[in-house]
């Protein structure tokens, strides 16, 4: 049975992979906007160094050689 995760809105979460289109490097911490699928999917807002929103990253847990690993599945730039 898949494990349930307890991430909630406004939790911080490190982006697991580079997202060059948003200027985000792996490890940059974003803020959880919302979760789905029992916490196994997250939408995370990432900011620029000046504090403005760069965009949103959608991540999901996927099975890998080392167990469950977070992967970026989609992203969208913030349109101001």
73 assigned to some structural domain: yes
Residue 12 φ then ψ, to 5°: -90, 150
What does the pLDDT read at residue 3? 61
What's the rounded Cα separation, in Å, for the pair 33 and 19? 18
Tell me the per-residue pLDDT of 23-78, one tens digit each, with 9 for 90 and over. 999 999 999 999 998 888 999 999 998 999 999 999 999 887 778 899 999 999 99
6 assigned to some structural domain: no
Sign of the C-alpha dihedral computed for residues 66, 21, 58 and 11 taken in this order = positive
Domain extent, residue 33, equals 12-77
4 assigned to some structural domain: no
pTM given for the model: 0.85
What does the pLDDT read at residue 2? 57
Pairing of strands 67-77, 29-36: unpaired
2 assigned to some structural domain: no
Structural domains in the chain (count): 1
Sign of the C-alpha dihedral computed for residues 49, 25, 67 and 44 taken in this order = positive
């Amino acid at each position: 049975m898949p494990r349930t995760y307890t991430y909630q809105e406004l939790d911080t979460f490190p982006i697991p992979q580079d997202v060059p289109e948003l200027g985000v490097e792996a490890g940059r911490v974003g803020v959880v906007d919302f979760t789905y699928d029992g916490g196994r999917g997250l939408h995370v807002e990432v900011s620029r160094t000046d504090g403005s929103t760069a965009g949103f990253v959608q991540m999901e847990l996927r099975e890998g050689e080392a167990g469950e690993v977070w992967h970026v599945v989609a992203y969208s730039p913030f349109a101001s």
